[in-house]
Amino acid sequence: MQQPLAYRMRPKHIDEVLGQKHLVGEGKIIRRMVISERLSSMILYGPPGTGKTSIASAIAGSTKYAFRILNAATDSKKDMEVVVEEAKMSGTVIMLLDEIHRLNKVKQDYLLPHLENGRVILIGATTENPYITINPAIRSRLQIFEVKPLAPEDIKLGLQRALEDNDIGLGEYNVEIPDDILNHFSNVTNGDIRSALNALELAVLSTKPDEDNVIKITQDVAEECLQHKRMTHDKDGDAHYDAISALQKSIRGSDVDAAMYYLAVLLEAGELTIACRRLLIIAYEDIGLGNPGATSRTVSAVTAAEKVGLPEARIPLAFAVADLALSPKSNTTYRALNSAMADISAGNVGQVPDHIRDAHYSGAEKLGRGVEYKYPHDFPHHYVEQQYLPDNLKRRQYFEPDPTGKYEEALAQIYKQIKQK
């Protein structure tokens, strides 16, 4: 039985790895290991379908070492013993251990001495954060590398390779696929090359050739095989930036229904990372002191979304959108920092007053550093009047509260009292 396209298209050399330039690019750590033939055991962690197994396969192909794949959850200690015995008989073996976070103590204790003597090069693969889920005893013996979701252009390159390869790809089929449809395959799988290749293979094999023996992949076929509707959304075009802008402006304008719509546009286009990043910015730029609790809840919601991934990620993000859109709004801190930065950009800077300059070193007192500093905690209400801004800016006011919620109103009162003193 023929293996799936994603399996067949795994790289056989480090030069064939898609993306991951921070690991396999020129001068980067894994490429240096391969070139110098100084491999060390490692853990590759990242989302499904991003190339963890591919990197391990490419390392093995580039070094000509034997390559064996095991699963920490389903394969037994005996299966590992077989690999170790092979290494003893024929030399170094690269063992890819999938789901390494599920490695139990018995298997771990068996593997440790073989990792230390270099007989087995272990490449652990996991979707879980190894600093949290993997036992320190095994983690301390392996280098940890993060494998990132592939960019759409990397996925598109992988799909093009598959369509052109006559030996292991789909090159034997006469396939006609418009560039915009190929972009659709590349954009909606959230950096998962395996899903994109599987969907492409399904599209080609399930579409009947026309009278000229041409397999034409249409938008309807792509959507059906991907189970993803094609959006009017081009990552490099106006629609992409318009959707991001509309999401922020809808939340800023307290229109929760519009905000939900634009969040859906981004998520349907596979733009989870963009949606998460934008919600964090909105929380601090537009809500800020109006409802600090909402900003904290947004951070928690984004963390949850990044951990579970799509499609479930939509649930915490929808929570955050409603919370932010219906919260009191404040851009006080955003305006305050912009105002301070404008002074600095215009060259309106000054020297830090001597009494609050660094005074921890020998001789600072002779220079007058920190000599007249008043420690606020030594005074009633933990406040004492003294100058903090440079002389030429000492009357400058950057923070100008305009409260819309109780929290900022309380801060505004404190600020007013301090200024009056």
The domain ranges of the chain are 5-146, 152-226, 238-325, 334-420
- Class of residue 288 by CB neighbours under 10 A (exposed 0-12, middle 13-18, buried 19+): buried
What local confidence, expressed as pLDDT, does residue 239 receive? 66
CA–CA distance, 41 with 271 (Å, rounded to integer): 33
What local confidence, expressed as pLDDT, does residue 228 receive? 57
pTM exceeding the 0.75 threshold for the entire prediction:
no
pLDDT for residue 293 is more than 60: yes
What local confidence, expressed as pLDDT, does residue 236 receive? 47
Residues 189 and 230 sit within 8 Å (Cβ to Cβ): no
Closest by CA position to 231, among listed 258, 279, 270: 270
Q: What is the mean pLDDT of the chain?
A: 88
Tell me the CATH class for 5-146: alpha beta
238-325, what's its fold?
Answer: Zinc Finger, Delta Prime; domain 3 (1.20.272)
Check residues 139 and 231 and name the one with the higher pLDDT.
Answer: 139
Closest by CA position to 317, among listed 264, 281, 268, 270: 264
Is there a common fold for 5-146 and 238-325? no
- Class of residue 332 by CB neighbours under 10 A (exposed 0-12, middle 13-18, buried 19+): buried
Q: How far is CA 271 from CA 86, 187, 259, 381, 406, in A?
A: 45, 8, 15, 49, 35
CA–CA distance, 118 with 93 (Å, rounded to integer): 9
What local confidence, expressed as pLDDT, does residue 420 receive? 79
What local confidence, expressed as pLDDT, does residue 1 receive? 56
Tell me the CATH class for 152-226: mainly alpha
Cα torsion 31, 32, 35, 38: sign: negative
Which range scores top for mean pLDDT: 247-261, 357-371, 396-410?
247-261
Check residues 154 and 270 and name the one with the higher pLDDT.
Answer: 154
Share of the chain above pLDDT 70, in %: 97
pLDDT tens column, 7-65? 898 888 999 999 899 999 999 999 999 998 888 899 998 888 888 888 988 988 888 88
Per the listing, tokens 């309380």 go with 410
334-420, what's its fold?
Answer: post-AAA+ oligomerization domain-like (1.10.3710)
pLDDT tens column, 71-108? 988 999 999 999 999 988 888 888 999 989 888 888 88
Closest by CA position to 160, among listed 4, 15, 16, 1: 16
